Amino acid sequence: MTQSFKKVHAITGMKDVLPDSSAQWEQLEHTVRQWLAAYGYRNMRTPVLEHTRLFTRGIGEVTDIVEKEMYSFTDALNNEQLTMRPEFTAGIVRATIENNILYDRPQRVYAMGPVFRHEKPQRGRYRQFHQIDVEALGFVGPDIDAELIVMLGRLWKILGLQHIRLELNSLGQAAERAAHRDALIAYLEQNKAVLDEEALRRMYTNPLRVLDTKNPAMQEMANNAPRLFDFLGAESLAHFDGVRRRLDDAGIAYSLNPRLVRGLDYYNLTVFEWVTDQLGAQGTVCGGGRYDGLIELLGGKPAPAVGFAIGMERLLDLCSQSQEPQAAPECQVYMIHQSDAAQRQASQLAEQLRDAGLTVIVHAGSSGFKSQFKRADASGAVAAVILGGDELASGTASVKWLRAPAHEGQEQQQTIPQGHLVTELKKRV
Ligand code: ATP
Ligand code: MG
């Protein structure tokens, strides 16, 4: 006796991509790979699971991600503390160190795939989401910082996006941040009354993070806080100027946002975000910056680096606002048949059509012509190829054009010798 089974649902905040909408994903992935190849970036794939300490060390203990968003668990089989990656950079840096790939030259790499954060699900915020992550490892900049930003400008152009703007800041170097930190803590102490619980908890451990707050009641306090930017020395300013000049050369507009600090600890010097007003509250499509200390922090030989991550769900949402997404056709040719013998012949012909590069579905099972035609139409195929009793007897096939542009003098339905099928279909598919 089968026991009753309680239906299983997807985990909250984790979405399925169904066949009708996956075309939009595949199109974007394809575009992204070509765009990255044009700048010499190569794909890198790291595991979804990493040791928890990689992220606590890499991202920083006092950050939203590490404090409350990670999917961490003990692997009971060997008692290891593991975490589903909440971002790509730490894993890419670990792999870079472990495989010594910066040994003889810097590397331009990218990764694409799911990341996991236990956040409150809403539009543009999920628990499994996807990132396009791009890292330039071993480059000091500022040329490469600018290259990354200019690259992103090109991607928006390729995708036809207009309502997306760039915000830029510099976080300087460790010594400058330390000087600012003292001033900031003093300021936060004077403004304790408006700080929320999280801010009070972080004001001594990670005061800069307090400025990254989304709490509306703290915005004015944050806007008036001492600016890290005002503590930058000549070298940091020169680096920032180098980035800005190159953005000007490329005609990339930006606004300076002294409050932009990013949600992870590892950044220094250049930080940036691309934001839009078209997606409601979750308007940051891409965030990135320089992280010259991270490779050393994670045990590698010191090397500078800079990178960014794009949120794919938000990007796709933005894309579908400028262009209605369309489901991809299932095939170019749909084959209809009327008997067991015709089905077998159709399967053989279909292999020949596939040899010629066509995509083909052979109707599965036996059903009436009418319902097979309905399926053919719903598949989005350009042509239906029909093998009935007459066709089988005479070695022909009937082609019914479902969507092909009308050619002068060509019927919407024609019967042709099976040997001519490839040539005829190739003319119009
Ligand atoms: P936010 O301020 O929106 O929380 P973040 O600073 O945490 O973003 P990053 O860690 O910089 O985001 O991640 C890079 C990009 O990934 C973001 O710009 C955004 O487009 C996307 N992203 C971040 N969190 C989520 C999420 N929970 N669901 C979907 N996309 C996300
Ligand atoms: Mg976040």
Residue position matching structure tokens 């009753």: 4
Q: 134: closest CA among 315, 309, 311?
A: 309
pLDDT along the chain (429 residues), means of 10: 88 95 94 97 98 95 90 97 98 98 97 97 96 98 96 97 95 92 94 92 89 90 92 96 97 94 83 95 94 95 97 96 85 95 95 97 93 95 95 95 70 90 91
What local confidence, expressed as pLDDT, does residue 338 receive? 92
In our burial notation (b when 16+ CB lie closer than 10 A, e otherwise), range 269-298 reads bbbbbbbbebbeebbbbbbbbbbbbbbebb
For a pocket test of ligand 1, which of 14, 169, 284 has the largest count of ligand atoms closer than 8 A to its C-beta? 284
Q: Which atom of ligand 1 is nearest to the CA of 286?
A: 18
193-244: pLDDT as tens digits: 999 999 999 899 889 889 888 899 999 999 999 999 999 999 999 999 999 9
Ligand 1, atom 26, lies closest to the CA of 125
Strands in 225-283 per DSSP E: 255-256, 268-275
Place of tokens 């500022």: 142
Q: Could you give the CA distance from residue 136 to residue 148 in angstroms, rounded to a whole number? A: 8
Domains, the chain, with CATH or none: 19-172+232-322 (3.30.930.10), 333-428 (3.40.50.800)
Q: What is the pLDDT of residue 428?
A: 86
Q: How many CB atoms lie within 10 A of CB 68?
A: 11
Ligand 1 test: best mutation among 59, 84, 129, most atoms within 8 Å of CB?
Answer: 129
pLDDT at residue 409, as a whole number: 57
Q: What is the pTM of this model?
A: 0.91
Q: What are the b/e assignments for 321-356, b being 16+ CB within 10 Å? A: eeeeeeeeeebbbbbbbbeeebbebbeebbeebeee
212 CA to centre of own chain = 23
Torsions phi, psi for 356 (to 5 deg): -85, 5
Helix (H) or strand (E) holding 383: strand 383-387
- Give the span between the Cα atoms of 199 and 207, in whole angstroms: 8
Locate 108 and state its tokens.
């331009």
Nearest ligand, CA of residue 213? 1
Ligand 1 atom closest to the Cα of residue 263 is 6
Distance CA 43, CA 88 (A): 13
Does residue 109 contact residue 137 with C-beta atoms inside 8 Å?
yes
Q: How far, in Å, from the CA of 73 to the mean position of ligand 2? A: 21
pLDDT on residue 298: 96
- Ligand 1 neighbours (beta carbon < 6 A): 87, 117, 119, 124-126, 129, 131, 263, 282, 284-287, 309, 311, 313-314
How far is 311 from 9, CA to CA, in rounded Å? 25
Return the ligand 1 atom nearest residue 314 CA: 20
- Using CA atoms, how far residue 292 sits from 82, 139, 267, 283, 303, in Å, is 26, 9, 7, 27, 6
Cβ atoms of 83 and 51 within 8 Å: the answer is: yes
Q: Identify the three-state secondary structure at position 17.
A: coil
- Decide if 113 contacts 130 (C-beta within 8 A): yes
